[in-house]
Amino acid sequence: MAIVQSEALVLRSFRLGETSLIVSLFTREFGLLRCVAKGARGSKSRFGASLEPGVRVNAVVYRKLSRDLQLLSKTDIVEVLPALWEDPYRFAVATQVLEFLERAAYGESGDPELLDLACETLRTMSRAPIASLELIVRGFEIQACERLGYAPELTVCLECRSPLHQGGLFHPIRGGLLCGTCGGGEGSFRLSERARRVMVGLSEEPIPTLAGWAAERYPGIEVAKAVERFLAAHLERFDGLRASRVAESLGQYKG
C-alpha cells in the first residue's frame, strides 16, 4: 500500500453504510479512482463539503493496486464553483461533464490535459449564459474524445478523403462524415453544412470562447444527434448520459 497525493475532480459520491461515502475521483496522476471516505457523512466529518460533485480537491489516498476501492484519507478544496449549484439546469449540464469522465476514463494513468479541459469547462459553465451551456457541453465532449484518441472526422470524407464543403453523411460507428458520392450506408444520416462547420468550431475553439457564441443560431438538434450517437458508438458503457436526459427535460424551463 502506498500513500499518494493527487489533484482530483470529484465526479460523484454515494452512500456507504451509516456514515461513509463512496467517491469517484478523476485524478491528475492516476486517472479514475473509486474511494471510500469513512465518516464523510458524520456531523464532524473531516471532509467537510469537499466531496460534492464538481469540486476540485487535493486528495490523499491509501492506494493499493490490487483493490478496486481505495481509502480516501484527506481532501483539501482547491476550487469550488457555487454558481453551478444555484440553477438546476446549469447543474444538470455540468453533471454531463462529470458523467462523461466517469464513463470514458479508464486505466490507471492520469490524463492531466483531460482534467484541465474538464475544469476549464466547469469554470466556463459557472458563468456562461444559460443559452450557451448546451453548446459548451458539446464542445467539451468532442474535445474530450480527441484527447482520448477518437476524434470524429469532420473535414474530409472518411472514404475518399476529399474535403467536405456541403455537409455530408454522418456515420457514428465509422466515426465521422462521408461525402455524397461515397454514400454513408446503413446507420448514417445527413448532417448539414452549417452543423458540420459548427462541430468543427466546437472541436477547435478554446472552451471559454464558446460562451460568447450566438446560441440562437446554434443548430442544437443536429449537433446533439451526431455527438450523442458518436459517443454511444465509441464510449464504453455509454448508454446516453443520464445527466443529458435530465438537462433535456429541464431545458424547457431555462431562460
Q: Does 157 bind Zn ion (CB under 5 A)?
A: yes
Contacts by 230-237 with C-beta closer than 8 Å and gap 24+? 230/145, 230/152, 230/170, 230/172, 230/175, 231/100, 231/141, 231/145, 232/172, 233/172, 233/173, 233/175, 234/145, 234/150, 234/172, 234/175, 235/100, 235/103, 235/104, 236/103, 236/104, 236/106, 237/103
Phi and psi at residue 137, in whole multiples of 5°?
-70, -35
- Residues 103-122 binding Zn ion (CB under 5 A) are none
Q: Does 182 bind Zn ion (CB under 5 A)?
A: yes
Q: Does 52 bind Zn ion (CB under 5 A)?
A: no
Q: Does 69 bind Zn ion (CB under 5 A)?
A: no
Name the minimum Å distance from CB 155 to Zn ion: 12
Q: Does 179 bind Zn ion (CB under 5 A)?
A: yes
Return the range that interacts with Zn ion (CB under 5 A); candidates 65-73, 125-133, 156-164, 235-243. Answer: 156-164
Name the minimum Å distance from CB 164 to Zn ion: 9
Cα–Cα distance between 117 and 120 in angstroms, integer?
5
Q: Does 125 bind Zn ion (CB under 5 A)?
A: no
Q: Which of 159, 205, 228, 248 lies at the binding interface for Zn ion (CB under 5 A)? A: 159
Q: Which residues of the chain form contacts with Zn ion (CB under 5 A)? A: 157, 159-160, 179, 182
